Amino acid sequence: MKLYNTANRQKEEFIPLVEGRAGIYVCGVTVYDHSHIGHARSAIVFDVLVRYFRARGISVTYVRNFTDVDDKIINRANELGKDTATLAQEYIDSFYEDMKALYVMKPDMEPRATEFIGNMIEMIQVLIDKGFAYEVDGDVFYAVEKLEDYGRLSGRKLDEMKAGSRIEINEKKRHPMDFTLWKPSKPGEPMWESPWGNGRPGWHMECSVMSNHFLGGTFDIHGGGQDLLFPHHENERAQSKAATGGEFARYWVHNGFLTVESEKMSKSLGNFIFIKDALRDYHPEVLRFFLQSKQYRSPLDFSRKDVLDCQSGLIRIYRTLQRAEQFTGPNKNNYSSRIQGLIAGEHKNEFLNRFINYMDDDLNAAGVTGLIFDKIKDLNRMLDDAGTNPSEGSINQLKEEIDAFYRAGAVLGIMNSDPSDFISRMEKPSDINESEIEELIKQRKEARAQKEWAKADEIRNRLKEMGIVLEDKEGVTKWRKDI
RNA sequence: GGCGGCAUAGCCAAGUGGCUAAGGCAGCGGUCUGCAAAACCGUUAUUCCCCAGUUCAAAUCUGGGUGCCGCCUCCA
């Protein structure tokens, strides 16, 4: 499999440290507010990466942290008059709710920064002892000039950055780019005892410590949003390499950003979309399908029109799956719950092999989308041909194709729903009088029996105006919400 | 100012040296239907932002230009 390694700005064959295993650390959220759809994209990207590895038979250790101590949390807690631990826990719970709704699997480890303060103090002490860090009046800073290749990951050079104007002047620092490992807390702020006085760790420490704790000083993949590349990941790497002597992450995977109606999400524009908001407007699978409609590294614009276009496509997929059930029966495999090895090895099924080819190419989910719709067209043709009295051979073939389809769906985290449930959820009218509809359909049926087509059509048009579409099939009239 | 990315049909989006430039949505024509809906079939880019170059051959490589975006400060 090829993965784009940000560290080397190119796609590289992924060769794990230990064959058949992969250690993955992903920067999670800072819990000072509900999570937004950008967090959802990131979570889904790495969820799919982990699902894919597992489906291919690789044993994955997946670690994703919570940052539960930080200035933003402290500020928010002060605003709301709560203590930081309570606030953090509330938003952790909120995050879990959102992830569950989006079918994002739980990582194997979800360490919180506050659980590892002791280890952070130890690592800081190691850095001081090794000469990579220095203490000034209770602050401890990392000396960037001490690490030979500081800036290598993000493609920056120290002297170029020195020329930048936005670096805050801090007289205590030996070099303007030196960053905080430990800082004193103000009264009322969370604090821990340390050799440098009561205080708290700098932001980057937690990821160095927790990745080292669970995965070691050298591990396979480190992931996160593109914005974290600098300074966060650069600094993590610097600390870890200096402290552990390991390589730190061997592959760096960064997901692209999300915009909303072509604008960056920001407080000032007031265009933050929380996952909870999005879930009110769209089915979770629509969101997942949409968030994977473009290659994970590219920017993606969350526009209402584009999401609804995706929804139309997903409805078509589910209609086909629903159609197929008359021959295959309902899908009860629940492949998501047994993803390990689900599509390992070579396959007789052409669709799965092509799926694997796309996914092996840096998770080309957009390419996979094309493949999925090709398959949908195929399946519909098979269903058309099968008619009402299909041969045993064609049913078996249909079953095989549907099975392959659900396996791929499990890797992407879609096709989790029962087709009829999904469709009825899409089509369910919220504010419509059902008995009135049934009555009108009855009247239309009578009119049609009398071949009073004008009257029948008038009734159908009336329903159409109410947002109800009719489908006559085999003498039975079904109705649904116009979507 | 520094670093990086992107530009493919009405919209979204694959494809990064070579058969007729995937796929979705929207539109149009047809099959089916009393008419529709759904589904299927066909159709919608002689061309991939512009210019120059390399090559037998480029959307794909090189150089230049234009436009858009991200990071460099907390950020997924």
| pLDDT tens digits, A12-68 | 999 999 999 999 999 999 999 999 999 999 999 999 999 999 999 999 999 999 999
Q: Output the distance from A459 CA to B39 C1' rounded to whole Å.
A: 24
**A395 phi, psi to nearest 5 deg:** -70, -40
Considering all nucleic acid strands, name the nucleotide whose C1' atom is nearest to the C-alpha of residue A305: B11
Please indicate, yes or no, whether residues A75 and A138 belong to a single structural domain of this protein. Answer: yes
Please check whether residues A229 and A324 belong to one and the same domain.
no
- State the sign of the Cα–Cα–Cα–Cα dihedral A469, A471, A477, A479: negative
Question: Does A246 or A467 have the greater pLDDT score?
Answer: A246
| Nucleotide closest to residue A39 (CA–C1') | B76
| Overall domain count for chain A | 3
Of A216, A248, A264, at which residue does a domain stop? Answer: A264
Q: Which residue has the higher pLDDT, A387 or A9?
A: A9
**Final residue belonging to a domain, choices A425, A444, A461:** A425
The gap between A11 CA and B58 C1' (Å) is: 22
Residue A160 lies in a domain: yes
> In angstroms, rounded to a whole number, what is the distance separating the alpha carbons of residues A374 and A372?
5
Mean of per-residue pLDDT scores for chain A: 92
Q: Which of A264, A279, A309 is the last residue of a domain?
A: A264
- A318 is a domain residue: yes
User: Is residue A284 a part of any domain in this protein?
Assistant: no
CA of A384 to C1' of B39 (A): 8
8 A C-beta contact, residue A140 and residue A122: no
Do the domain assignments include residue A293?
Answer: no
Residue nearest to nucleotide B22 (CA to C1'): A370
Q: Name the closest residue (CA) to the C1' of nucleotide B38.
A: A471
Q: Quick one: which residue's CA is nearest to B41's C1'?
A: A381
How many C-beta neighbours within 10 Å does residue A386 have? 18
Closest-lying nucleotide for A38 based on CA to C1': B76
Residues A95 and A188 in one domain: yes
- Closest residue (CA to C1') to nucleotide B11 in the complex: A306
pLDDT recorded at residue A164: 47
In a domain, A271, yes or no: no
Interacting residues of A287 by C-beta distance below 8 A, sequence separation 6+: A37, A40, A102, A278, A279, A307
Q: Are residues A381 and A258 in the same domain?
A: no
Same domain, A412 and A451: no
Nucleotide nearest to A480 (CA to C1'): B37
CA atoms A443, A444, A445, A446: torsion sign: positive
> Do A104 and A249 fall into the same domain?
yes
Using a 7 Å cut-off to protein CB atoms, list the covered nucleotides of chain B. Answer: 1-6, 11-15, 22-26, 33-41, 69-76
HSE at residue A92, side-chain half, CA atoms within 13 A, is 18
Nucleotide nearest to A265 (CA to C1'): B75
Tracing tokens 């021959």 back to the chain, one arrives at A327
Could you give the C-alpha distances from A45 to A50, A256, A295, A364, A459, in angstroms and in order? 9, 10, 10, 11, 47
Q: How confident is the model at residue A163 (pLDDT cuts 50, 70, 90)?
A: low
Q: Mutual orientation of helices A365-386 and A392-412 as an angle, nearest 10°?
A: 160
* Residues A399 and A329 occupy one common structural domain: yes
- The separation, in Å, between residue A44 CA and nucleotide B75 C1' comes to 18
Nearest nt by C1' to A257 Cα: B76
**Long-range contacts from A417-426, C-beta under 8 angstroms, 24+ separation:** A417/A285, A417/A318, A418/A330, A419/A318, A419/A319, A419/A321, A419/A322, A419/A325, A420/A322, A422/A283, A422/A285, A422/A315, A422/A318, A423/A315, A423/A318, A423/A319, A423/A322, A423/A480, A425/A283, A426/A283, A426/A311, A426/A315, A426/A481, A426/A483
Pair (A347, A445) in one structural domain = no
Give the span between the Cα atoms of A18 and A33, in whole angstroms: 38
- Is residue A374 located within the same domain as residue A472? no
- What is the CA A375 to C1' B29 distance in angstroms? 25
pLDDT of amino acid A473: 84
* pLDDT of A411 strictly over 90: yes
Task: Give a yes or no: residue A279 inside a domain.
Answer: no
Residue A481 CA distance to nucleotide B34 C1' (Å) = 24
Quick one: tokens of A219? 């591990």
pLDDT tens across A193-231, in order? 999 999 999 999 999 999 999 999 999 999 999 999 999
Residues A182 and A45 reside in one and the same domain? yes
Q: Indicate if A255 and A314 belong to the same structural domain.
A: no
Residue A465 belongs to what domain range? 429-481
Q: Is residue A238 part of a domain?
A: yes
**Least confident interval from A175-184, A413-422, A469-478:** A469-478
CA of residue A467 to C1' of nucleotide B28, angstroms: 24
Range with the poorest average pLDDT among A108-112, A118-122, A265-269: A265-269
Asked, for residue A441, whether it belongs to a domain, the answer is: yes
A258 CA vs B76 C1’ separation (Å):
9
Do residues A208 and A345 share a domain?
no
CA-closest candidate to residue A351, choices A376, A329, A331, A332:
A376
Q: What is the sign, positive or negative, of the torsion defined by CA atoms of A262, A264, A265, A268?
A: negative
Straight-line distance from CA A266 to C1' B75, in Å? 9
* Residue A60's CATH number: 3.40.50.620
